[in-house]
Each structure stands twice: as C-alpha cells, then as structure tokens.
Amino acid sequence: MAILVNNDTKLCVSGITGREGTFHTLNNKNYGTNVVSGVTPGKGGQDVEGIPVFNTFHDAVEKTGANTAMIFVPPRFAADSILEAEDAGISLIIAITEGIPAHDELRVYNHLATNPNVRLVGPNCPGILSPGKANVGIIPASFFSEGNVGVVSRSGTLTYQIGNELAQAGFGNSSIVGIGGDPVPGSSFIDIIAEFEADPETELIVMAGEIGGSAEEEAAEFINANVTKPVVAYIAGFTAPPGKTMGHAGAIVSGSAGTAKAKQEALEANGVRVGRTPTEVAQIAAEIAGSLKTA
C-alpha cells in the first residue's frame, strides 16, 4: 500500500532537462520509480538517458500514460507548469520548486480546488517517498526502510532528522510526505493524515510542524474527530522571535498567532503527544508501538 506514490506511479517530470531536474529524475528512476517521461517546452523529441521528453504535458500523458507529475522548473514558470499538468489530466502533482510567488500559489490552489480528481503536494517540498516502492522528489532514500510509520512534514531536512531517529529506534516507513514550507501548500496536514488513516499499512503517524499559520491547530481538531491511529507530533520554532520569517516563507509568528506553543497546546488538548526534540518523538513512537503490540 503506502500512500500517493507506489508501484502504479507513472511519473512525468517538468524541467527534466535542467541540471537539478535531470539529477533527481535519474535518482528517482534508479530507486525504482517508474519514470515514463519528461516535459521541457522546445525540447520535445529529445530524451534524458532514454526517458522521452515532450513539449507539453498533454503529449506526455497521451504518449506515455503519465499519472503523476513532478515540477522542477524555476519559480517564475512553476505555477504555469502545475496548471498545465492539471489541464492534461494528471491526478497527482508534486511541486519541488522553492520560491513561487504567493499570489501564484493562491490562484493555483483555488483553481485546483474546482477539480476533485487532482491533488497537489508542495510547492517548496522534498516530495514523497514510499520506501521499497517509489521515490518522487529529493528525499535521500537510503536513510529509510519499509515499515508502518507514516511521516508528514513541512520541512525537508527536519523530516530526515526525525526519520533517522525513528530508524535508529527500529521503525520503517509506509510513506514520507513533505507538504512544504510555503504559505499556501497544495495539501495540508489534514489531507495527508486522512490518507494515512485510510492506509492499512500505516499503524502510526508522525507529523512535524513548525511556526506560522494555523495548519497544525486545524490538524489537531481533525485528528481528534477522525483519526483512530496514534499520532505523534513535533513542532519547530519555539525560540523564533515574532515578526521574523524563519527561512520558510510560511514560518512567521505574526502577533499572537502561529506560535509553536499555541500549536503544541492545540495538539495536546486534542490527544496528540508532542515530542520536545526529534529524539523524543522517536521515543514516544517506540512507547506507543510497544503498547500497540501488547494490546
């Protein structure tokens, strides 16, 4: 099982002929992901190590049956590429690009919301890894193995840190999903946690949030009402000063809203245990897994 990307994934990469695009596409392919095509306007007919390149997503879908898109183009072209992928009938779009203008994201989000058959993950995210099945994005797969912990996070390297702590505590993962650090993520914690709840392979869910916005608070209420599987959370940014953007465009404490403390309290009030460090997240997960086995 796993969620979103798996053995049925047929990936088409927008920006496949760029330096980073080529590098990560081939990494994904080497991992075993079924990369069927790429898109670079003007380079249709070429290939990248045998992967055919098309001028449009529409051609790529028609000729190669692509069902998943990875967006690797520079910020000024990214919104257009996402909209093109959706228009061509792609059902899962994973946008890695960092630095997309917020108003572009707003238009894309509201347009995609009118199509119930499409899901956008990202932008500004590391992608999705389902260990042993498929890797779409830039997550270093070698640190993760197959297992039953689902991980969802706003941050890339923090995901690796937590994943590594979990691995050292003996856990593998069903899927690892980076939803990205931007103000308007295509998928929220709630969207991904709902997928994990429905996935029979996932027994425990770890979510890593950070300051800014209210996505963690909203997830807390959703978990309380809809999720039967145990959830462990981590929040980064307890020491962040208000009014300063901490690296991610979405990570800013404005006024009294969006603080790490408020998020921790909302999660705990809804029955979600919050680890104070990535290490403690793994310890709590181990404790819960132990009690699941003995139950």
Q: Is 248 a known active-site residue?
A: yes
247 lies in the site for other proteins, by CB under 8 A: yes
When the beta carbons of 52 and 278 are compared against other proteins, the nearer one is: 278
53: Cβ–Cβ under 8 A, 6 or more apart, which residues? 16, 17, 37, 38, 39, 40, 43, 44, 45, 46, 47
Instruction: Report the nearest approach of other proteins to the CB of residue 10 (Å).
Output: 25
Q: Is 273 annotated as a binding residue?
A: no
Residue 283 binds other proteins, judged by CB under 8 A: no
30 touches other proteins (CB under 8 A):
no
Among 29, 119, 133, 248, binds other proteins (CB under 8 A): 248
Choose, by CB under 8 A, the member of 214, 261, 271, 290 that binds other proteins.
214
Q: Which x/- pattern over 151-190 shows residues binding other proteins (rule: CB under 8 A)?
A: --xxxxxxxxx--x----------------x-xx------
User: What character string, x for contact with other proteins (CB under 8 A) and - otherwise, covers 59-98?
Assistant: ----------------xx----------------------
Question: Is residue 237 near other proteins by the rule CB under 8 A?
Answer: yes
Binding site for other proteins (CB under 8 A): 20, 75-76, 99-104, 106-107, 109-111, 113, 126, 138-140, 143, 153-161, 164, 181, 183-184, 208, 210-211, 213-215, 218, 234, 236-241, 244-251, 255, 260, 276-279
Catalytic (active-site) positions: 248
